[in-house]
Amino acid sequence: MVVINKIHITSVLVLLFAIILNILPLPSIIDSCRPPILLLFLIYCTLAHPDNINLTYAFITGLILDVLLIMPLGYNALCFTITVYLIMLYYPQIRLQSSWNKMFSILMLLIPFFISSTLVNSILKINYNILDVIISIILSVIIWPSLFNMLRFIRQKYT
Partner 1 sequence: MYTDKQLKLGTEVRNNFSHIIQPIYTISESPLKLYRNTSLYIDTKKSIIKENNALKKKVLVQSGIIQQIPPLKAENKRLKKLLSSSSSIDTSKILIAELIKVNLSPFSNKVIINKGGSNNLFLGQSVVDSFGVLGVISEINKNFSVVTLITDPGHAILAVNARTNKRIVLSGTGDNRKLKAKYISLNEDIIEGDLLITSGLDNIFPGGYTIGEISVIKKKTNHDFLNVKVSPSSALSSNREVMLLW
| Interacting residues with partner 1 (CB under 8 A) | 19-26, 28, 31-32, 34, 66-75, 78, 120, 124-129, 132
Smallest gap from residue 61 Cβ to partner 1 (A): 13
Tell me the C-alpha distance between 4 and 77, whole Å.
24
Smallest gap from residue 45 Cβ to partner 1 (A): 19
What is the 8-class DSSP label of residue 71?
Answer: P
Comparing CB distances to partner 1, the nearer of 37 and 47 is 37
Distances (CA, A) of 120 to 57, 89, 111, 153: 21, 23, 14, 36
Nearest of 41, 46, 10 to residue 157 by alpha carbon: 10
Smallest gap from residue 157 Cβ to partner 1 (A): 23
Comparing CB distances to partner 1, the nearer of 4 and 126 is 126
Q: Are 91 and 105 in contact (CB under 8 A)?
A: no
Smallest gap from residue 108 Cβ to partner 1 (A): 24
Q: What end-to-end distance do the CA atoms of the chain give, in Å?
A: 12
